[in-house]
Amino acid sequence: MPKPSHLAVLGVAKEVTPGTPVAATKWVPYKTLTPKDDVNLIEDVGQRGAPVDNFGQYAGQKGAELDLGGDVFADTIGWLLASVLPDLVTTGASAPFSHVFSTLCTGDTQPTPQTWTIFDPLGTWQYPGAQFSELGFKWNADGLFEWSAKAQTWPYATTTTPTPSFTSVAPVANWNITCKLASVNTFVQDGELTIKRNMTVIRGAAGTQNPYRIWTGDVSVEGKLTLVMEDSAQRTIFQAGTAQAFDVVYSQGASAALNGLQLHCSQVAYTEGTPSYGKEYIELPVTFKAIGNVTDVGASGGYSPIKATLQNAVAANTYK
């Protein structure tokens, strides 16, 4: 008998030891969820006097990939932000707390590994040691503010049945989002912003099928916007190669229930900016790349291409 996929739920928790699974402490609403198990079979191709290309298969080193996505909730999105921007400073004595995420430029520069748990009608599957190579945000005139992410993990482990519980925070309608260029409110028809990290799965001969470590490297930020071309100002900025600040902001609720997110890049440069005449008005689709700077940094200093400020009722030391 088939098993209903809509009963599957997704959870997350931070780890103490990389690759050692821990029980989920938060359950994350999702819209897309695709785990891929990497088995890496090894073929025996040693010739034995026969026209055959495979004389045996043996277990190789293992791992997994996660492809996730959903709507932005002001409490659960903090787990994703911490997975790519691990310089985290939390302030506030009570809700709303303010969590500021940026590039970590001291120590090993690594995010705290996480265990992501999938609980479905077939069992409970823990994917430990997760490190993320990509976290993207997307918005337009309709629907809800969305995120998508990709991660590498250790091979899954099974565990006992959990008891999920879900956020009471509301998601974010796209109409509530404000975009700014050079600190000026700017009408944006649709936009994307993606934070990326280089990633290497370090493997070796060490008596285990598990990786030694999943290691993340440089942080980069890129995106795209569709602007209504009311004048030639932004096209001129593209032609001149001028960097400017860019912000994506939303806020909702009040007092202890206040929550919101600001994605701030002090310097972005357009990499493309060609007018489009395909509609009854002129559009300017632009792509951009953020520049590392000393303004968007956190407690570790150095450089960062982005600073994300999250407000919610989640206390310090939760995400990291």
- Supply 105's token pair: 């430029």
Cis peptide before 305, with omega less than 30 degrees from 0?
Answer: no
Cα dist. 202→55, 61, 63, 149 in Å? Answer: 28, 11, 11, 21
Residue range 102-110: average pLDDT? 98
Q: Has residue 120 got a pLDDT over 90?
A: yes
Confidence of residue 75 (pLDDT cuts 50, 70, 90): very high
Q: Tens digit of pLDDT for each residue in 241-293?
A: 999 999 999 999 999 999 999 999 999 999 999 999 999 999 999 999 999 99
Question: What CA–CA distance (Å, rounded) separates 152 from 199?
Answer: 8
What's the mean per-residue pLDDT of the chain? Answer: 97
Report the C-alpha dihedral over residues 308, 180, 245, 137, rounded to 10 degrees.
Answer: 40
Which class for 170: exposed (0-12), middle (13-18), buried (19 or more C-beta within 10 A)?
middle
Confidence of residue 198 (pLDDT cuts 50, 70, 90): very high
Residue range 64-85: average pLDDT? 98
Confidence of residue 118 (pLDDT cuts 50, 70, 90): very high
Cα dist. 172→45, 140, 176 in Å? Answer: 55, 12, 7
The widest CA-to-CA distance across the chain, in whole angstroms, is: 78
Confidence of residue 297 (pLDDT cuts 50, 70, 90): very high
Are the C-beta atoms of 69 and 49 separated by less than 8 Å? Answer: no
Confidence of residue 33 (pLDDT cuts 50, 70, 90): very high
Question: What CA–CA distance (Å, rounded) separates 317 from 239?
Answer: 45
Question: What CA–CA distance (Å, rounded) separates 129 from 17?
Answer: 8
Residue range 178-185: average pLDDT? 97
Are the C-beta atoms of 260 and 149 separated by less than 8 Å? Answer: no
pLDDT value at position 1? 87
Instruction: Report the DSSP beta bridge partners of residue 188.
Output: 227
Confidence of residue 31 (pLDDT cuts 50, 70, 90): very high
- Supply 194's token pair: 């993606």
Residue range 133-141: average pLDDT? 97
Cα dist. 189→38, 141, 143 in Å? Answer: 39, 6, 13
> CA 279 from chain center: how many Å?
33
Helix/strand/coil for 25: coil
Return phi, psi of residue 256, to 5°.
-65, -20
What is the percentage of the chain residues whose pLDDT exceeds 70? 100
